[in-house]
Amino acid sequence: MSLLASCASLSKSFGSRALFENISLGISEGERLGLIGPNGAGKSTLLQILAGRLEPDSGSISLRRNTRIGYVPQQTDFPGDQTAAGIIGEAIAGERLEDLERAGRISQTLGRAGFTDGSVRADSLSGGWQRRLAIARELALEPDLLFLDEPTNHLDLEGILWLEKLLAAAPFASVVISHDRYFLDNVVNDMAEIDRIYPEGIFRVEGGYSQFLEKKEAFLLAQSSRQESLANQVRREVEWLRRGAKARTGKSKARIDEAGRLMRELSDLESRGVKGVTQIDFTGTDRRTKRLVSVEAVGKELGGCRLFRDLSFTLTPGMRLGLLGRNGTGKTTLLRLLAGELEPDAGAIERAPALRIVYFDQAREQLDTEQTLRQGLGAHGDHVIYRDRPIHVAGWAKRFLFDAGQLDRPISSLSGGEQARVLIARLMLQPADLLLLDEPTNDLDIPTLEVLEESLTEFPGALVLVTHDRYLMDRVSTAVMGLDGQGAAVIYSDYWQWEAAQGRDLPKAERPAPPDSDPSRDRKGAIFKKKLSYLEAREWEQMETQILEAEGELAAVHAEMQSPEVVSDGVRLQACYAKLQSAEARVAGLYARWAALEGKQ
């Protein structure tokens, strides 16, 4: 494959803070490179440098002649008076095209992105459709190499699946920053992680995210073994030096020099091995109330669109409900109804007395970006109060990977992932019976996501989660509710059952297994079984009756097919055969669901 772009010995700092040093990377035709790394490691900065939007402090970048570059930033702002077609037309204004060809390019590009109306104003679009428009604008340029920074942020699951198919079949090469583990496994054929734990500051592996994790584990194990071996060698050399070795001979001097080299190498390994992890632990109130929130026959309309009709469910401690559906189907609206920020048009929402609700808003409006980090973390003076005890704000900041030198910096100077950590730190100070989380994963790095998952699965209260991260949804939720935006809401046992209902069922062998852990194990490695949630328990109680009814319908279809009237009528026989297939599929599905629930008992 021909090399499209490469960089050598790139370094970049902001003030006294070094983001990365001596990074080297090459991108060839047909490559789809996934780029990951901790928040603040410099991923977005590196992408901007490679795309020619930012200059490095040192190092060089080379592009193959006439290589066309596209770049989709993490945040995109469109002028309010422009239409979708106008934005695409402006992007290709410099292209030498006939009017008919230009109009065709605009129409084709919008169609690929799912737009049916090019006259729609950009400022009227949801965040997900604005993200599609930003990607479409770069597609119109017909790039050879496309850089995308967190492209799945704000996209609904339908949008993510669209982007997966687009990139997997694209004729151009791409570099994608993403923390969506299923997305990475489904799209990329190369993985690279920027992190100071690696000798060259970057670790690259051919394959998807699952293959990357295997190779990374092997590399870190080898590095740990090397560190242990070095430590033993250094210990022996130090003992030799303490016995009074003198550098009067060439041999002794060489050994002293070698001892110094080993010590420097060990020090480098030890410094790179020091890695902080965000400590997330939401505080429950230990409320014993069985019912926290009861939703009874709730209806709600917004902008003339009926979002819910006769919606009823109950939230109990330990229940973790995921909300699924396209953008605009009412997921955030339902969270706001539960939080009491909106009132239903019909029905009622009953909350337990003195119910404590903690709400993570995807727009992060609870954060004042003009405040300092110290204020944003919730400090009163030099301390925060966590679980009824004071903690010094510097120690609290360290728990979320901030150092004391950052405390007086404005929140606006922090990256998106860092701002998300600030909001999580602030919300953790509030004891909660019910957590309402609206896209909490945006901009978070993978290590932080893993800690967040553990915290949410151990939270003793109830949880309602909106997220585009399928791994998090699958791992955390005990039930999911699918919203269609037209009033219907259906409860499913898990994400994959919802997928099947959308007609996108994946064969079991092809479903991406959780790549970084076995979901049947806890973090100590012990096997555990999920207990049935409240909704699953009700489903289990009704399962035998449903199976008997389905088998009765199947027997009735069999009897009908054997009747002389049907056997002699080809049209009726064909219709009966279709009914037979449907009845058999229903019975098989119910038995499969019964087995799945039985396995959780």
Which residues make Cβ contacts (< 8 Å) with residue 381, sequence separation at least 6?
none
pLDDT attached to residue 522: 39
- Mean pLDDT of the residues in the chain: 82
Q: Is the pLDDT of residue 180 over 50?
A: yes
DSSP sequence for 491-544: EESSHHHHHHHTT-PPPGGGS---TTS-TTB-TTS-B--PPP-HHHHHHHHHHH
Q: Is the pLDDT of residue 508 over 50?
A: no
Distance CA 194, CA 72 (A): 20
Q: Is the pLDDT of residue 379 over 90?
A: no
Name the packing angle between helices 99-112 and 84-91 (round to 10°): 120
Which value, to the nearest 10 degrees, does the dihedral of the CA atoms of residues 521, 524, 526, 527 take? -10
The 10s digit of each residue's pLDDT in 111-127 is 999 999 999 988 888 88
Q: What tokens were used for 404?
A: 């004391």
Band the pLDDT of 404: cuts 50, 70, 90: confident
277 in helix, strand or coil?
coil
Which residues make Cβ contacts (< 8 Å) with residue 375, sequence separation at least 6?
368
Residue 196: DSSP 8-state: T
The 10s digit of each residue's pLDDT in 452-482 is 888 888 888 899 999 988 888 988 999 999 9
Q: Is the pLDDT of residue 70 over 90?
A: yes
- The sheet carrying 434-438 orders its strands as 357-360, 434-438, 462-466, 320-324, 479-483, 489-492
Q: Is the pLDDT of residue 273 over 80?
A: no
Residue 121: DSSP 8-state: B
Q: Which helix (H) or strand (E) holds 49?
A: helix 43-50
pLDDT attached to residue 388: 75
pLDDT attached to residue 86: 93
Mean pLDDT of 169-195: 93
Q: How far is CA 2 from CA 28, 64, 144, in A?
A: 6, 9, 12
Of 161-170, 443-452, 590-599, the one with minimum mean pLDDT is: 590-599
